[in-house]
Amino acid sequence: MTGMNTLLDTLDYFGFIFLELAALFLSISTAISLILQYIPREKFGRYLSGRSGYLMAALLGSITPFCACSTIPLTLGLLNAGVAVGPVLTFVLVSPLLNPVIVGMVWTLMGWKACLIYFSACFFSAMAGGWLMNAFHAERYVRKFPDPGANCCSGEETSGPVTPVTFRNKLKKAFSDAYGDLQRVLLYLIVGTAIGATIYGYIPQEWIASLAGPENRFAIPLAALAGVPLYIRAESAIPIGLALLRKGMSLGAVIALLIGGAGMAIPEMSMLLSIFKARIVAAVVAMIFFTAVIGGYLFDFLLN
């Protein structure tokens, strides 16, 4: 009977979290897609070339829910447009870390204070990282390449119909784009929620707490180290993090895992190597790791 109750609790957790996250993803992605239809893509480079380039790059990265292969062509385009390498790297750092889906889910599921700390840690770390890379003349390690050409994400941004004129049509297109994005990440969402539900239902709370609970001072850097090579999609990381949190993992360690996992995709890392030399890519990974550690300790310090 205990086994049946555990199974029912696990299935209940899976269904509730899956529906909540799917609804959040669809609504947030629709809103962002609608906003982006009012910002011409050709203006991005001009915005990032001014005195407030780092701030604009961080803001741009935080409102664009690009997948890894969408970030790379835009990065290449910004470099070709003459944008300094510092703001470009700020965009590269902040774009996956402040994916609007992640921010919205953190706010909804962990509260506005947690969201504010998460956003601030990632936002300002990305700006500082880009500034440091520019100070060390990272442009020396940018590879020479021809015109970037077509987009790697099915070519949706290099061809196709003109953006609709009326608000209603823009909204329909935004919802259609968001629904398409949801379909592409649906497997990640299902797998991540299933893993989270399994952790919630079957892994002993005492075991999680002993490894990554508040009493373990090394839990946060260990979680950050686990996250950087792991690459957990945001759609997978949130349910896994919630399950680990409920099992006794410290909030700081969960955030470190989330930042480390969402910050650097293996495909993005390999594509970055086609633009930047290995030193830059290694520096990006190191900055993500330190952001994860600093963010984790901030969470434990400010919210406990």
- Distance between CA atoms of 239 and 148, rounded to whole angstroms? 36
**Which is more confidently placed, 30 or 50?**
30
Give the integer Cα–Cα distance in Å for 234 and 12. Answer: 21
The fraction of the chain above a pLDDT of 70, given in percent, is: 71
Rounded to whole angstroms, the Cα distance separating 207 from 140 reads: 48
pLDDT band at 273 (very low <50, low <70, confident <90, very high): confident
Nearest to 260 by CA among 287, 298, 297: 287
Average pLDDT over residues 82-98: 86
> CA 119 to CA 105: how far, in whole Å?
12
Cβ partners under 8 Å of residue 194, min gap 6: 14
User: What pLDDT shows up at residue 42?
Assistant: 61
Q: What is the pLDDT of residues 16-28, one digit of tens each?
A: 878 877 887 788 7
State the pLDDT at residue 302.
Answer: 86
Residue 154 predicted with pLDDT over 60: no
Q: For position 129, what pLDDT does the model report?
A: 92
- Using DSSP's 3-state secondary structure scheme, residue 278 falls into helix
- At 63, phi and psi to the nearest 5? -110, 0
Q: Percent of the chain, pLDDT > 90?
A: 10
- Which candidate, 170, 186, 165, 166, places its Cα nearest to that of 31? 170
DSSP state letter for 249 = -
244, burial (CB in 10 Å: exposed 0-12, middle 13-18, buried 19+): buried
Q: Which residue has the higher pLDDT, 224 or 122?
A: 122
Comparing 106-120, 256-270, 285-299, which segment has the lowest mean pLDDT?
A: 256-270
Could you tell me the pLDDT band of residue 147, with boundaries at 50, 70 and 90? very low
Q: How far is CA 151 from CA 2, 57, 63, 81, 259, in A?
A: 52, 20, 19, 16, 26
**For residue 158, with 0-12 CB atoms within 10 Å meaning exposed, 13-18 middle and 19 or more buried, which class applies?**
exposed
Domain that holds residue 263: 2-303
Q: Would you state the pLDDT for residue 132?
A: 93
Count of domains in the chain? 1
Token representation of residue 261 = 């996992």
Span 125-135, pLDDT tens digits? 999 999 999 88
C-alpha to C-alpha distance for 91 and 58, rounded to whole angstroms: 6
Q: How far apart are the first and last CA of the chain?
A: 37
Reduce the DSSP state of residue 276 to 3 states and report it: strand
Residue 273 CA to residue 151 CA, distance in Å, equals 17
Give the mean pLDDT of 61-87. 71
Is the pTM above the cut of 0.75?
A: no
DSSP string, 25-84: HHHHHHHHHHHHTTS-TTHHHHHHTSTTHHHHHHHHHHH----HHHHHHHHHHHHHTT--
Which pLDDT belongs to residue 248?
78
Cα torsion angle, 159, 162, 164, 169, sign: negative
Confidence band, pLDDT 50/70/90 cuts, at residue 241: confident
